[in-house]
Amino acid sequence: MFSKIEVNGDGACDLYKFLKSSQADEEGKEDIAWNFTKFLVDGTGQVVARFGPVTTPEEIEEKLGAYL
């Protein structure tokens, strides 16, 4: 079971600090505004895309092929 973590602010988890600093949202903001923000990370650990909460898995699938 996972525990609740911070994704924004001074207490943000190191993973989310890395993800957010690597890829801002469409408005250029780093903070996560809502649940279900998704990040696509390639095989070398680089963040290559960030998707908003309403992005469907099918939309993400279109980008996956380039990284498999």
Domain map (residue ranges) of the chain:
14-67
- Round the CA-based radius of gyration of the chain to a whole number and report it: 12
Model confidence band, residue 33 (pLDDT cutoffs 50, 70, 90): confident
Say whether 45 sits in a helix, a strand or coil. coil
Instruction: Decide the pairing of beta strands 47-51 and 38-41.
Output: antiparallel
Q: How far apart are the first and last CA of the chain?
A: 29
- What CA–CA distance (Å, rounded) separates 9 from 25? 16
Mean pLDDT, residues 41-66: 92
Predicted confidence (pLDDT) at residue 68 exceeds the cutoff of 90: no
